[in-house]
A and B are shown apart, each in its own frame.
Chain A
Amino acid sequence: MSLKDDLTKLRDDGIAQINQATDVNEITKEIKVNLLGKKGPITQALRGIKDLPVEKRPEVGSYANEIRDEIQNALDAKLKELEDKALEEQLVAEKIDVTLPSTPVAKGHPHVIQSIIDEICDMFMGMGYEVKSGPEVEEDKYNFEMMNLPKDHPARDMQDTFYITKEILMRTQTSPMQARTLEKHDFSKGPLKMISPGVVYRRDTDDPTHSHQFHQVEGIVIDKNITMGDLKGTLEYLLHQLFGNKYDIRLRPSYFPFTEPSVEADVTCFKCDGKGCDVCKHSGWIEVLGAGMVHPNVLKMAGVDADVYGGFAFGLGPDRFAMLKYGVEDIRDFYLNDVRFLSQFN
């Protein structure tokens, strides 16, 4: 038998052995070492080449290399086959019930009123309004006097007040921020466009529709050419953004001492789509905010020339918005912080 024949046989036997293998370790640790290892027959054969006549060496050498490659390829193929099979088995074994519940994750929730306030602020910031916050313990001067509500004004009755002293009180509205910002604003540097969210207090007994503590958002725009049409456009934008475009908006005359003209804005009742129901007291409309053109007395008292400057202001209640938008029936739910209530809002 020539060396070449030996090699041929080696290959045939080796490949047969490889094909029979069933285990990765068998291949890598035994067959591969046996066939191709340093002490293996191929290596031996290649070593034997040096004993061949010079002219025969290239042919046998190249044949031996060919054989080695063939064996290597067969090994690789078998190895891949076995690995694929093993992986497949593993994957089958690893199958899980994907409908089992997920591992719980700690998750906090924003307060629904805060979310509404943030949404409103973001909307107005996009229109170039600055955000200001003011004191919750306020002076009578800002809460009432400078808002054109002198002592003994009947509209003070509409806002029953928690007093601390005769002159210091829990603010009943965010409107004092109108007076505070007007007083400080430098109109030579541009118009005043401000929005002010915050907590307000009324001397009310808590019940499903009254809370001694609630929230308001105040807005004011003052410049030389601000019109009532601008107020209407701004309110329509706000309400459509908050409640959706499909609802109609209606402005009605109203009365606030710090605006003239004054309006209240109604939105189509969401519950009945304007047909009339208990929520809207069968009117088809839900009152959502009060607004108006800033009263010249308010401007004058804050030192602003009412002949040159004017504009609008509005005030709205995020608590009421949340109640309307989500059908919350009891305002106290916002302040009792039952986590089953709070965690419904994202």
Chain B
Amino acid sequence: MKISYNWLKEYIDLDIPADELAEKIERSSVEVDSVIKPSDGLKKIVVGKIVEMENHPDSDHLHICQVDVGEDEPVQIVCGAPNAQVGKNVITALSGARVADNMKIKKSKMRGIQSNGMLCALDEIGYPKDVVPKEWADGIYFLPEDATLGDDVYKYLGMDDALIDLDVTPNRGDMLSIYGTVHDLAAIYNKPAKFDLDKVSETSDKLTSDQIQSDVNDEIAWTYLNRVVNDVEVKPSPLWMQVRLWNAGIKPVNNIVDITNYSMLKFGQPMHAYDLDKLSGKVSVRYANDGEKITTLDENEVELDSNDLVVADDNGPIAMAGVIGGMDSSITADTKNVLFECAIFDPIKVRKMARKHVIHTEASQRFERGVDPMAVEDVLSSASEMAREIANGSVTNDVLVGSKYEAKKAVIEISVARINHVLGMELSAQEVIDIFERLGFEVKATGDDLVVTIPTRRGDIHIQADLIEEVARIYGYDNLPSTLPTTTMTTGGLNEEQQLIRDSRHILEGLGLTHAISYALTTEEKAKMFMMGESAQTDLSYPMSSDHTTLRMNLVSGLLDDIAYNKARKVDNVALYEQGRVFHKDNEDVVKPDEIEHLAGAMTGSLVDNSWNQPAKNVDFFQIKGIVNEYLETIGLNGEISYVSNASYPEMHPGRTADIFVHGHYVGFVGQVHPKIAKQFKINETYVFDLNLQTIIDLPKKEQSYELVSKYPSIKRDIAMLIDKNIENDSIVKVIEKRGGAYLVDVKLFDLYEGEHVPEDKKSLAYSLTFQNKHDTLVDDDVNNVMDKVQRNLEKEFNVEIR
């Protein structure tokens, strides 16, 4: 809400700059979005009077005006406004003026006639179009007749006021009014709030209850009061009232409607005014019927259902209760008799209705946050009195009570010790009592124990913690001590699982992969690619976009999206990893999926850029396998890591994909993305791995150990062979290891050749075997015997030809 500083000052003595006041409000009450003075940025805009006017000889709509701006000579200004009129005081931008949007006004010629300024409409000096009254929407604005010619216009239009825009949290509905804000400032600055309610003068001899009856569902309207004002003259409201409204961002409409809005700004109590003569039968507050329709004040037709709240007459809805009024019963220039409504509607129901129909109004905003139940009748009276004063109405003698809820003031017992305990302070009882009394709370003190009674305007205060907050904010958070918790000692730190996850990230980064964080919500199709096991999918019930409908069940597809994003930006070398959760469900009936930690990587292009001394090497299966393997080795899993060819992943290259096992447990896969999937993602050849990190976390780890480095020399022997192409390296190595004897410590493939000079169904392999006896020098004979054995067995098992 935009709070007018000038308006505040009517009720509290404040003499500080507006910025300073805003800062104080922010530190003590609610957030301040901005502090604006409407005249900021404007220059040389003064009151002028059109003393002469003639038609422009070369135009059918321009007028040549002589404008008296309090100088010796009038200023000649050419003006195209249709309502320009001799004798009117108008907003005059002189030559050199700055108007809205920082536009500069210069002397110029308009169709050959000298024009030394501009006569302005309200929007031309910065008023948003939606607050400009209808009657001034299409022409220049007429200032009061008693305005002093040559004066700056700002004070007449309230533009010299500072407007403090409060961003009110849901609990502080009281701050959505001058009344509530004044009370809070009174507490903050320890000054009295001078707020007097107008006493209504019941000038009519008529009764409200003779003119209308009401039938109210008090579940909907906890309090529902009406009063009739007869024989009103509907016309624009006085300028001072219009200023207050437009400075708060509300468009002045007519004196009756303006009174309701003015009352709302002043007291925080929304009101509505109906044209009594347009109502038929009685006024009822009820749930809407399904399919019932209403045309609202902003001329939209809304279809209602049985959860919606309406005020209705015998013909149907006349308002969406607490949200917006209906067009048909609205106040017009012809209205004679007004029915004012002042009520409290159920906050939750109002909120639901406003939300459902996306109609958020000044009224609904306030009802949702709660209004002061004790002020309803006073506000109704005050508004009726205003209608008597500015619309010459006669106020009926009674208030029609449809429902009335007797609010109870909250009473909270609290000790000063408790307050100090929570805040970490040593305030005296008197200091605490002072704060409460400044807030307008009643306090009964018995030594340290206080009984605090809360006025109903502060509906947010129910419990001790609420009172403690009041003390803290009025005393000032700046004045709180700054300490650290004193407790018995606790040991912080990561547990094993968290440490492993963190280590995993560091290892992969060390191996050249960059940490990516992709979206966990993806498309149904991508969610179920690259699956490492059966799982039902988890869908959002109301997704926001078709790109994010389903919880991912793999990390790879997200990484492929990332690679595609990079490729589209001409970045072809990408090496990413992601650590995060995938969401699996055993079957459709499970509602809450298991969240499984995964670790995945994706690589395309080359890991290291091309350079002058080293050509780039495109990533291949063996490079990514090396990265995965190095990761698994570093993590220190206890057990052998093995890779088994698997052609059954639909999204993976059938000949270039391996399942990864650790000590026989399936932990994931590594390989090349299927070319048709790569095409679908619009990416180049890409290699990926996905590991079930939870399995890795759960698997036993090796204890860090150490073996004496042998001082005896080792012996190396090479063995080369021609072998069937389809025999896998693993099975050859297994035979070598099995037959290699106790001293074989390492088997390394150092050459693989297929092609020329090798039969088509064969390949040539060469291994280097390392032998070592830790306790003695090996003799050639020992090794020779073993090599013979290895050779014989290779020949026997695979029919190899040793070369």
Chain A contact residues, CB within 8 Å of chain B: 100-101, 103-111, 113-114, 118, 121, 124-131, 133, 135-137, 139, 152, 154-155, 157-158, 162-165, 167-168, 170, 190-191, 193, 199, 201, 203-206, 212-213, 221, 223, 225-230, 232-234, 236-237, 250-255, 260-264, 281-283, 293, 295-296, 310-311, 334-340, 342-343
Contacts and interface: CB of A to CB of B under 8 A. Distances in A.
Contacts of A139: 592
B312 to A, nearest CB: 24
B421 to A, nearest CB: 7
A136 B540 CA distance: 13
Given A108-B508, A108-B512, A191-B490, A230 B484 contact: yes
A229 B492 contact: no
A282 B26 CA distance: 14
Contacts of B591: 164-165, 167-168
22 contacts: A100-B613, A106-B575, A109-B515, A121-B494, A128-B489, A130-B495, A155-B170, A162-B521, A162-B542, A162-B544, A193-B487, A199-B520, A199-B581, A203-B544, A226-B485, A228-B472, A229-B424, A250-B478, A253-B27, A261-B465, A339-B514, A339-B566
Nearest to A223: B487
- Which of B480, B512, B581, B609 is most buried by chain A, counting CB atoms within 10 A of its CB? B480
B626 to A, nearest CB: 11
A337 B576 contact: yes
B608 interface: yes
Contacts of A114: 505, 515, 517
B609 A164 contact: no
Contacts of B608: 104-106
Contact of B516 (A233, A283, A342): A342
Contacts of A170: 521, 540
Nearest to A214: B517
Most buried by A among B171, B473, B510, B545: B171
Interface in B646-666: none
B517 A340 contact: no
B512 A103 contact: no
B477 A234 contact: no
B611 A104 contact: yes
Contact of A260 (B29, B469, B494, B509): B469
A335 to B, nearest CB: 6
A139 B592 CA distance: 8
B520 A136 contact: yes
A253 B517 contact: no
Interface string B453-489: 0000000000111101100110001101111111111
Contacts, number: 270
A337 B543 CA distance: 23
A221 to B, nearest CB: 5
B515 A125 contact: no
Contact of A342 (B32, B515, B541): B515
A281 B33 contact: yes
Interface of B: 26-34, 169-172, 347-348, 351-352, 355, 368-369, 421-425, 463-466, 468-469, 472-473, 477-478, 480-495, 498, 502, 505, 508-521, 538-545, 548, 551, 562, 565-566, 569, 571, 573-577, 580-581, 583, 591-593, 595, 607-609, 611-614
A154 B730 CA distance: 64
Contacts of A199: 520, 580-581
B468 A253 contact: no
Contact of A221 (B485, B508, B510, B611): B485
A180 to B, nearest CB: 14
A237 B545 contact: no
B517 A154 contact: no
Contact of A204 (B494, B544, B573): B544
Contact of A190 (B484, B487, B513): B487
Select the residue from B30, B472, B487 with max chain A CB neighbours within 10 A. B487
A296 B465 contact: yes
Contact of A261 (B170, B468, B478, B543): B468
Contacts of A204: 544
Given A254-B31, A260-B463, 11 more contacts: A101-B611, A111-B517, A128-B491, A152-B348, A164-B538, A164-B541, A191-B487, A206-B545, A260-B468, A295-B465, A340-B571
B485 A310 contact: no
A212 B611 contact: no
A109 B607 CA distance: 13
Contacts of B505: 110, 114
Contact of A232 (B481, B510, B611): B481
A296 B463 contact: yes
Contacts of B573: 339
A205 to B, nearest CB: 6
B509 A233 contact: no
B562 A108 contact: no
A229 B423 contact: yes
Q: Report, nearest first, the 9 A-B pairs whose CB atoms are least far apart.
A: A227-B424, A106-B512, A229-B424, A261-B469, A255-B169, A108-B509, A125-B492, A128-B490, A337-B562
